[in-house]
Structure 1
């Protein structure tokens, strides 16, 4: 029995240390980002080139009835010399999106734009395959990419292309903003998390000279960088992160522009969010398996390697949280009946203070995004975000383990609803499943943990269990609610 208790404590401790390491790297990125934003206002942007280079705008689409016309119209309104601009609608659709895209392409072509609807024989390689196929059909020196849910501003290219100031710059990435942030609790919490990535992580990594990533959309590639890094690969679900690391393991540098915004639509339902989260977390695990060894063998600095390790393994945090959560209930009993382990629990309590850097990280991002908001508004938003993130850890753990095991899965695109949320249910996937039942049962399990702690007068894990109940309960509630709406 003692051996089992020691094993549980050791496993819990290892997970706690991993999360602590991740938290400390986020703290370092926060310091770098604060330094960047604390510097005097940057000078004027680089001057426009004497001759604007040829730019291809790629719009990868798959069954996007509700947003296809919006994204094509936004691309057609880009303020760029018409003789230097080529728009490619990379349309893999199998529904009436094809006809809507064709009509929009014909309309703008009649106005003098060079715009093509590119159709492939099949959907091999999903988005990566579409982007690679599009490159064979264009002569653009630079490649701007926008997913179907984006609405770039007309001056996007004029504000980004001049930042290719030297031949080793391979990517200029911009900050995502959110068209529907205030639509619901889910969209507000997603925006809260994404803002931290774009205002802290990307800024800090860029300033520190660490690996950053092209975010799949809202950025511009130098074509030569794509080709020299090996082109788009379809062996991970995050083709953007994969190519980013291959490029930066070579001679290429990336530039991040937080001042240039790329507005986009956030997933409006839990099934859409889960679809996106599964792709991101599984793809990150696949990319870690693919590139972690090369990163550690590279000539990069120790600091850059350390940040890259936690960058590539950031989805593994969900695994650590799930393991800690499952073990936390029996730990209440161990603490009560095995007094010899009390020093271990006191040490664990000290380690929990290491989560404070995450609070600092998210507070800094929130304050940068909302400089005039009352400070008290941060705490409930942060705690809700933390709880729902914990509630998704079962779902995301399945994705991480599938990625590490190289289990192949299809590229499931995130449903977009545009201005027609009621009609958007046609692309919804029912989210009620055995996993949903398990999420409901885990809500009860962690509620039992709260009861145990109160019964024994042991309140150390009460905040953790309360967040888990709130998180899993919220995920279960939205899964049931959105499943009924999809019927």
Structure 2
């Protein structure tokens, strides 16, 4: 019996150590980012004497609700007409084909060099489409926008000069920050924006300041064509082709430049199935990329600090596995602690230690919240948003842990698109309701969703058991877990 108790405590403690390591890396990135924000931003390099040939790639697959606004936005980009080529890479099998063809014809008649590219088969999914487009274009630079993005007219004028500034010959990517078209649509979109803002306002800024590996975020950025070729081109053997190519390019000595001051607005998923499909792709793809590149990162000549940051960067999705293990074990630990044996006193300290792991993350998210508030009205209540975001992230730990384990084990799966529904800035703003629209990505009422509901009940039981046993050290943890799994289960039922 004692051996089992010690095993529970050991596994729980190791999970907490992993969470603490992740939190401390985010804390260091926050310190680096705050130094950047404390200084004046460097001036934008002057426009090049001759604007380079540039291809804008728009990878599409069944996007009838957003395809027209995307093409119109990219047709309005302010760039010399004789140097610009817009490629609509359309793998669609529905009315998106006709909608795209009509907008392409409209803008071509007005003098824009725009082409509608169709493949005979959707091999390689998005990576395959991007590679196919490269074979049919001559652009020295390649901008990429997913279907849910709406770049501002001056996007290219703000970004292209950074490829021609001082010491920029090895600049392979210029990445911009994602904006949010529908952040205020619902609690679901507000929590997504809260998490993404931390990545774009803090993590990417800190990585650049520390000279660490950055990642192209799949869209809202520009590649140098020779960088893509030198790194081996687009590969379709992971679900995050952007992260994969980013690491291959930087391991080849290319540099990435991140511009937090330039935003590329995009639509956030508004339904739980869309969010889960996106989370599955991101977390599984990151694990696949770690499996593919982590050994090479450690064999590289990069500084130890950069290799450590790269390790946490590539394995950050493994945090969900640690959270899930910690969560499941936390209820039995209540009864272990209630036995009252002196040698089991560390349980109490481990429970308190969990709260200490959240302190660096608080610093991290607070910095992002402050930076975001400068660009839009500050949301009411940082503490409330942080607690809800942490709870919601914990509630996704079962779903994301499955994706991580599949990725680490090398099990292949199809590229599941994230539905874009053309949502307005708020429910009142409209642009149509998601209800009744097609292209739902999964059966929300499957076995995994039922398990999420059971886990919500399990942690409610943990709250009650802790109060009954007068063991309050794990009460904050169980409150967050019950809230998070309850939210995920609720939205899964509501959007089913």
Q: Normalised by the shorter chain, which TM-score bucket? A: over 0.9
Residue 449 of structure 2 is aligned with which of 411, 416, 436?
A: 436
The within-5 A match list for 1:455-466 is: 455-466=468-479
Residue 210 of structure 1 is aligned with which of 209, 212, 220?
A: 212
Paired with 1:68 and 1:319, the residues of 2 have a C-alpha distance of: 37
Paired with 1:112 and 1:376, the residues of 2 have a C-alpha distance of: 47
CA contact (8 A) 1:432 1:479 kept: yes
Q: Which runs of 5+ in 1 are unaligned?
A: none
* Coordinate RMSD, CA, aligned: 1.3
* CA deviation profile, 1:449-476 (whole Å, cap 9, x unmatched): 1111001100000010011111101111
Aligned counterpart, 2:223: 221
Moved more, 218-227 or 404-413: 404-413
CA contact (8 A) 1:417 1:423 kept: no
What is the Cα deviation at residue 197 of structure 1? Answer: 0.2
1:279 and 1:43, CA in 2 relative to 1: closer, same or farther beyond 3 A? closer
CA contact (8 A) 2:372 2:378 kept: no
**Secondary structure in structure 2 of the residue aligned to 1:202:** helix
CA contact (8 A) 1:29 1:204 kept: yes
Aligned counterpart, 2:259: 257
Paired with 1:450 and 1:347, the residues of 2 have a C-alpha distance of: 18
Q: Confirm or deny that 1:141 pairs with 2:143.
A: no
TM-score relative to the length of structure 1: 0.97
Moved more, 331-340 or 272-281: 331-340
What is the Cα deviation at residue 279 of structure 1? Answer: 0.3
Q: Confirm or deny that 1:356 pairs with 2:368.
A: no
1:375 and 1:74, CA in 2 relative to 1: closer, same or farther beyond 3 A? closer
TM-score relative to the length of structure 2: 0.95
Aligned counterpart, 2:493: 480
Paired with 2:173 and 2:233, the residues of 1 have a C-alpha distance of: 14
Moved more, 354-363 or 423-432: 423-432
Moved more, 162-171 or 364-373: 364-373
Aligned counterpart, 2:183: 181
CA contact (8 A) 1:74 1:152 kept: yes
What is the Cα deviation at residue 345 of structure 1? Answer: 2.3
Paired with 1:281 and 1:42, the residues of 2 have a C-alpha distance of: 33
Paired with 1:194 and 1:228, the residues of 2 have a C-alpha distance of: 30
Aligned counterpart, 2:428: none
1:182 and 1:373, CA in 2 relative to 1: closer, same or farther beyond 3 A? closer
**Secondary structure in structure 1 of the residue aligned to 2:115:** strand
Q: Confirm or deny that 1:328 pairs with 2:330.
A: yes
* CA deviation profile, 1:42-93 (whole Å, cap 9, x unmatched): 2431000000000000000000000000100011000000110000000000
Paired with 1:375 and 1:60, the residues of 2 have a C-alpha distance of: 33
Paired with 2:297 and 2:398, the residues of 1 have a C-alpha distance of: 29
**Secondary structure in structure 2 of the residue aligned to 1:463:** helix
Paired with 1:351 and 1:190, the residues of 2 have a C-alpha distance of: 27
Residue 432 of structure 2 is aligned with which of 403, 420, 427?
A: 420
**Secondary structure in structure 2 of the residue aligned to 1:426:** coil
The within-5 A match list for 1:261-276 is: 261-276=263-278
Paired with 1:192 and 1:175, the residues of 2 have a C-alpha distance of: 13
CA contact (8 A) 2:172 2:255 kept: yes
Aligned counterpart, 1:367: 370
Q: Which runs of 5+ in 2 are unaligned?
A: 423-430
What is the Cα deviation at residue 240 of structure 1? Answer: 0.2
**Secondary structure in structure 2 of the residue aligned to 1:58:** strand
**Secondary structure in structure 2 of the residue aligned to 1:275:** helix
* CA deviation profile, 1:427-465 (whole Å, cap 9, x unmatched): 123311111111111111111111110011000000100
Aligned counterpart, 1:98: 97
Aligned counterpart, 1:89: 88
**Secondary structure in structure 1 of the residue aligned to 2:233:** coil
Paired with 1:330 and 1:284, the residues of 2 have a C-alpha distance of: 31
Q: Confirm or deny that 1:290 pairs with 2:292.
A: yes
* CA deviation profile, 1:364-409 (whole Å, cap 9, x unmatched): 1111111496797101111111111100000000100111111111
1:333 and 1:193, CA in 2 relative to 1: closer, same or farther beyond 3 A? same
Aligned counterpart, 1:171: 173
In the alignment of these two chains, the number of paired residues is 482
Paired with 1:439 and 1:400, the residues of 2 have a C-alpha distance of: 17
The within-5 A match list for 1:42-81 is: 42-81=41-80
CA contact (8 A) 2:337 2:348 kept: no
Aligned counterpart, 1:13: 13
Paired with 2:198 and 2:491, the residues of 1 have a C-alpha distance of: 24
What is the Cα deviation at residue 340 of structure 1? Answer: 3.0
CA contact (8 A) 1:170 1:254 kept: yes
